[in-house]
Structure formats: structure tokens, C-alpha cells
């Protein structure tokens, strides 16, 4: 066994047998922000066999305070987060297979990527995608680990299909705050605490030490010195539309998926076109509209007081407004 993992192997619950299992497993991470980058680094350093990372966004300077795989150059170049993350992760451990996707996560886009996934980790920032994940992973019997943080607070819970309450059960029993990082801020220790809980649970699942799994929801507030674990077994509902006796998986229906959405607390609207863009043609067409910056993955356009960021996969982020109507109007004026 490679000496680089010797200290991990010395930890008896993992050992050589557990290390071999880790190196044979495939983990999917949804999101490449604060939680996603820290979880990805922990798994890559631990020798995970394959890691798939999905994110729709690019690196900005405000990310650098807590999103640990990114550099100032990544922000200047507006590098897609998954590309910047992969570049750094490959430098950390070249033996790990790392697959990345610059895309919006939906039921349709995620399904082809699930064939050999052993575990998924939630590193998203909104409940639209979490409910899709909840339905999708329940349907495909993939365990996943929920995590969220804002301010100095955070929470985590391990969801096992057919065994534990699902996310919809939990949120029906315990509504969560609508606060976001952009409205109340965040400190990096809160991120690391959530990641510590998520990745520890991940290691337990990867080495198949199921008896050691934490069955409770954990919540904390580091600044105010609060830490709590909550027994949520009674939250499981017999007729839950996701994990009940007759599931409908309603969040996987096309009609329930957002086509235009205001991104979490960011004064930004995303519009999905349903087609790929030829960025070279767009750049030629928009060059007289405003200042343009491009890289192999996206086009950025400064227009009046707004910034358009256009991805090849048909998505456009319109920064500077939280009005979907206004964003659509400018989108159709400039892009068509």
C-alpha cells in the first residue's frame, strides 16, 4: 500500500482494507464553492478512486475568503470553478481520476453521471437543486450527505435511501432559515466544521462502517458556542412523495424545474436557453455592445451597469439585477 496513506491506514477503523475500498469508490460532489472545494480536497488527499464535481459558476474575488482551491489568477481569468478545482486537485494527487462538468445540475443532466456513483455530497447553495438531488438519489438508491452553512452556523445530515428520513421529511418538520452568505456573511471556520462532519460521514460510508454512521442531524453556531444533535427518526413520513411507500419524485418533473431563476442572494439572474452557444460568433456580434472578455469556457460582457456571463452550455448569468423580467428583456435584446 502506498506510503502516502500510511497515517490514514494506521487509523484502525480504516486500516488497509478500508483504504483499498476508498481507492475503489466514486464520489459525486454537487457544487464547487466553499463546501465543495474543501470536501474535494479532503477526498483527493485520502485517495478516493474517482471524483466527479459539478458546478455552473466561475471564480470571483469574493470566493477567495473561503473557497480553498482557488487563486487570485482564477478570479482574474473568471475561470469556471470546476476547471480551477481540477487543476489544483491534480497537483495534490495525480492518481485520482477527476471528472468535472460545467453545467446546471438538473434531473436530466445528472442522471447519465450516476451509473457507478457510490456516494454524493451536497455542496450546493439553494434548495431547488437539493430537492432534485433528494428525489434523484432516492430513486437511484445513492446515499448522500446534506450540508449547509451561513454566518457562523451550519448543519449536516446523512441520508440513506429506504432507511432514514429524506430531505423533504426533514424540512417539513424543521423549516430552515432563508439567510444567505450575501445577506449575513460567513466565516470560513463554519465551512470547515460542516466539511468535517460531511467528509467524516463520507469516509464511514466509503469503508462500509455503517454502524459508525451518525443517525442524528447536527447543527452548530461557532460564534455563540452552540452545538446540538437532533434525533429526527420520527420525521420520516409514510406518504412522503420522495421516500414514502408510493413515491412520485415530483421534483424530477420538467414542469417543476426552474428555467429562469434568481441566484441565492447574489443580485443575479440565470437564464437557461436549452441550446448550446457558439461563443466565437457571440463575441463577434456583441463586440460593439460593450467590453468583452473570453476564455475557452465562457464570454463576459459589460453592458451598462450589468455584466452578462455566457456559458457554452446555453446558460447566461446576468449580474446587477434580481428581476427576472428585466433580465429576460435585456437577454432577448442582446442575445436573442
CATH number at residue 278: 3.30.310.10
Phi, psi of 172 (to 5 degrees): -70, -30
Domain termination residue (choose one: 224, 254, 284): 254
Domain termination residue (choose one: 254, 275, 309): 254
**What's the pTM?**
0.86
Phi, psi of 232 (to 5 degrees): -115, 15
CB contact at 8 A, 159 and 69: no
Whether residues 114 and 250 share a domain: the answer is: yes
Task: Give the chain's residues under pLDDT 50.
Answer: none
Give me the number of domains the chain comprises.
2
Whether residues 247 and 274 share a domain: the answer is: no
CA 238 – CA 246 distance, rounded (Å): 9
CB contact at 8 A, 113 and 133: no
CA 245 – CA 6 distance, rounded (Å): 45
Whether residues 55 and 164 share a domain: the answer is: yes
Whether residues 280 and 216 share a domain: the answer is: no
Whether residues 236 and 272 share a domain: the answer is: no
Domain termination residue (choose one: 201, 231, 254): 254
The enclosing domain of 182 has a CATH number of 3.40.50.720
Inter-CA distances, 204 with 20, 200, 227, 292, 321, Å? 13, 6, 22, 47, 43
The domain containing residue 249 runs over which residues? Answer: 3-254
Whether residues 178 and 311 share a domain: the answer is: no
CB contact at 8 A, 198 and 206: no
Whether residues 168 and 225 share a domain: the answer is: yes
Amino acid at each position: 500500500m502506498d506510503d502516502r496513506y500510511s497515517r490514514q491506514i494506521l487509523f484502525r477503523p480504516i486500516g488497509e482494507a478500508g483504504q483499498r475500498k476508498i481507492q475503489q469508490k466514486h464520489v459525486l460532489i454537487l457544487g464547487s464553492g466553499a463546501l465543495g472545494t474543501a470536501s474535494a480536497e479532503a477526498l483527493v488527499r485520502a485517495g478516493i478512486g474517482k471524483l466527479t464535481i459539478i458546478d455552473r459558476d466561475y471564480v470571483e474575488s469574493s470566493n477567495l475568503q473561503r473557497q480553498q482551491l482557488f487563486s487570485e489568477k482564477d478570479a482574474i481569468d473568471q475561470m469556471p470553478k470546476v476547471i480551477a478545482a481540477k487543476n489544483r486537485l491534480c497537483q495534490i494527487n495525480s492518481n485520482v481520476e477527476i471528472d468535472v462538468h460545467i453545467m446546471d445540475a438538473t434531473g436530466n443532466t445528472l442522471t447519465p453521471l450516476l451509473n457507478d456513483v457510490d456516494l454524493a455530497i451536497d455542496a450546493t447553495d439553494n434548495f431547488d437543486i437539493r430537492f432534485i438531488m433528494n428525489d434523484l438519489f432516492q430513486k437511484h438508491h445513492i446515499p448522500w450527505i446534506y450540508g449547509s452553512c451561513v454566518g457562523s452556523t451550519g448543519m449536516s445530515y446523512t441520508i440513506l435511501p429506504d432507511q432514514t428520513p429524506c430531505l423533504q421529511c426533514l424540512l417539513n418538520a424543521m423549516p430552515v432559515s432563508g439567510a444567505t452568505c450575501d445577506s449575513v456573511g460567513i466565516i470560513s471556520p463554519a465551512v470547515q466544521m460542516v466539511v468535517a462532519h460531511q467528509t467524516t460521514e463520507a469516509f464511514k460510508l466509503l469503508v462500509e462502517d455503517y454502524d459508525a454512521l451518525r443517525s442524528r442531524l447536527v447543527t452548530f453556531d461557532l460564534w455563540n458556542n452552540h452545538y446540538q444533535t437532533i434525533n429526527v427518526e420520527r420525521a420520516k413520513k409514510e406518504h412522503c412523495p420522495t421516500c414514502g411507500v408510493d413515491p412520485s419524485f415530483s421534483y424530477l418533473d420538467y414542469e417543476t424545474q426552474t428555467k429562469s431563476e434568481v441566484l441565492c442572494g447574489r443580485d443575479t439572474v440565470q437564464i437557461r436557453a436549452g441550446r448550446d452557444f457558439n461563443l466565437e460568433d457571440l463575441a463577434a456580434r456583441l463586440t460593439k455592445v460593450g467590453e468583452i472578455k473570453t476564455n475557452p469556457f465562457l464570454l463576459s460582457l459589460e453592458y451598462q451597469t450589468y455584466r452578462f456571463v455566457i456559458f457554452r452550455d446555453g446558460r447566461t448569468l446576468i449580474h446587477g439585477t434580481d428581476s427576472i423580467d428585466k433580465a429576460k428583456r435585456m437577454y432577448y435584446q442582446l442575445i436573442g
